[in-house]
Amino acid sequence: MNIDFQRVLQKAEEYKGDISRFLRDMIAIPSESCNEGRIIARISEEMKKVGFDKIEIDKMGNIIGSIGHGSHIIAMDAHVDTVGLGDKDLWQYDPYKGYEDMEVIIGRGGSDQKGGMASMVYGAKIIKELDMHGDYTLLITGTVQEEECEGLCWQYMINEDKIEPEFVVITEPTSCNIYRGHRGRMEIRVVTHGTSCNGSSQDRGVNAIYKMAPILNELKELNELLPCDNFLGRGTLAVSEIFFTSPSRCAVADSCTISINRRLTGKESYDYALDQIKNLSSIKNMKAEVSIYDYEKASYKGVIYPTAAYFPTWRLDVDHPVCETLVEGYEALFNEEPLVDKWTFSTNGASIMGRYDIPCIGFGPGNEDEAHSPNERTLKSELVKAAAMYAVIPSLYVNRVVKTNKL
């Protein structure tokens, strides 16, 4: 298929107002994890307006809209849940009513990552209007619970909905650069046990908090020894929470629990990261318990789909056909070379490629630094660029596959 890249750009610019209105409508709907029902309904409404061929909401609550009926299954994904607001006093504008001028839209979720959803829907509209159909079926997915458990939605869609695309475009914020991976992560729990007694005679008991102290020191030392990957960066370890149990403030604590946010790099695996901690001398000396947290919260539709809080590392080779497709599209649309890089945070790609080895690539409006911050903002120019890019990716990919098969 021959693609008129300038015509695609013109169409994307024409839809700037529609994309902006749709994004502001979504921002106005609070949609923290496990409470996405209203925004899913709003997305369904927009998909119907644009003319999607098929729209489904699965039992978990993810929305899947499709364009075309070809043999190559291509997916583009945006999670539609957000984090909370934090301190409202830090917001210059109402987080849901937001703010808009000629260049920017401000509001919770604008960058992370309702902007990606707005641009995807209108990228699909461009495909339909310019008759850019080919031998592909494009799935536009709005997924849930990512902020609390990234990739859980795709575990469900792959295992239960039987959706297995040839690749997935992750539309998390990349400032319209091309991202091809990120570090993984784990949520690890360490528990020490003691014996409570009256604090006036603490020698009669065993203080579980004191037992945790040498573990904390050794974990701090371990963080400095973790490996570094040339592309993904360093593995890291941060103690993020501490809890205790005690009969009262006048008693010795009988248990102490810490949470560890472990970022995985390179070939670091689930077992490798857990064993590193289990083998610390302080862990053995204090007979501490080391385990991984589980996620078992119900979706807004009531589905509980338990999973371990393990989110694998993934990386797509720079010469992979999917990465080359996006580079080709970027250069043809914008007449410049793209920056090909990585995220610092984690995405649904942790499941899609990390668990299931389905190739992933990132391209989205918004800046990664805006995620979870007050006055979260998205540039309208990036919404337009993203819509244009999403419109050309499927045809470029199919053209590349057909050309390769002829060689």
112 and 146 Cβ atoms separated by less than 8 Å? no
pLDDT of residue 406: 61
Task: Tell me whether residue 201 is in a domain.
Answer: yes
- Please say if the pLDDT value at position 402 is more than 80: no
Residues 208 and 172 in one domain: no
184 and 263 Cβ atoms separated by less than 8 Å? yes
Task: Tell me whether residue 9 is in a domain.
Answer: yes
Residues 69 and 10 in one domain: yes
Given 295, 324, 354, the domain boundary residue is 295
Nearest to 59 by CA among 235, 302, 367: 302
Q: Which amino acid does the sequence have at 367? A: N
How many residues in the chain? 407
**Catalytic residue list contains 87:** no
pLDDT of residue 212: 98
Residues 9 and 150 in one domain: yes
Task: Tell me whether residue 304 is in a domain.
Answer: no
CA distance 215 to 78: 39
pLDDT of residue 148: 96
- What does the radius of gyration of the chain's CA atoms come to, in whole angstroms? 23
Interhelix angle 380-406/321-334, nearest 10 degrees? 130
Average pLDDT value for residue range 325-334: 98
Average pLDDT value for residue range 159-182: 98
Taking only the tens place, the pLDDT of each residue in 338-389 is 999 999 999 999 999 999 999 999 999 999 999 999 999 999 999 999 999 9
Residues 202 and 318 in one domain: no
- Mean residue pLDDT across the chain: 96
Per DSSP (E only), the strands in 84-154 are 99-100, 104-106, 136-143
Average pLDDT value for residue range 190-200: 96
CA distance 1 to 399: 7
Phi, psi dihedrals of residue 395, rounded to the nearest 5°: -65, -40
- Please say if the pLDDT value at position 12 is more than 60: yes
CA distance 102 to 379: 9
Task: Flag the least confident range among 15-19, 28-32, 242-246, 401-405.
Answer: 401-405
Residues 71 and 177 in one domain: yes
Q: Which of 77, 81, 150, 254 is catalytic?
A: 81
When divided into structural domains, the chain yields a total of 2
**Catalytic residue list contains 161:** no
Beta bridge partners of 142: 63, 78
Nearest to 8 by CA among 352, 365, 403, 387: 387
pLDDT of residue 403: 76
Residues 195 and 175 in one domain: no
Confidence band (pLDDT; 50, 70, 90) for 1?
A: confident
- Please say if the pLDDT value at position 24 is more than 80: yes
pLDDT of residue 159: 98
Task: Tell me whether residue 301 is in a domain.
Answer: no
Task: Tell me whether residue 392 is in a domain.
Answer: yes
pLDDT of residue 323: 98
CATH for 143? 3.40.630.10
pLDDT of residue 401: 84
Average pLDDT value for residue range 200-219: 96
**Residue numbers of the domain that contains 215:** 184-295
Confidence band (pLDDT; 50, 70, 90) for 407?
A: low
Per DSSP (E only), the strands in 252-387 are 255-264, 289-292, 294-295, 307-308, 310-311, 314-315, 340-341, 360-362, 377-379
Label residues 28-59 b or e (16+ Cβ within 10 Å = b): bbbbbbbbbbebbebbbebbeebebeeeebbe
Given 263, 295, 327, the domain boundary residue is 295
Q: Which of 77, 146, 150, 328 is catalytic?
A: 146
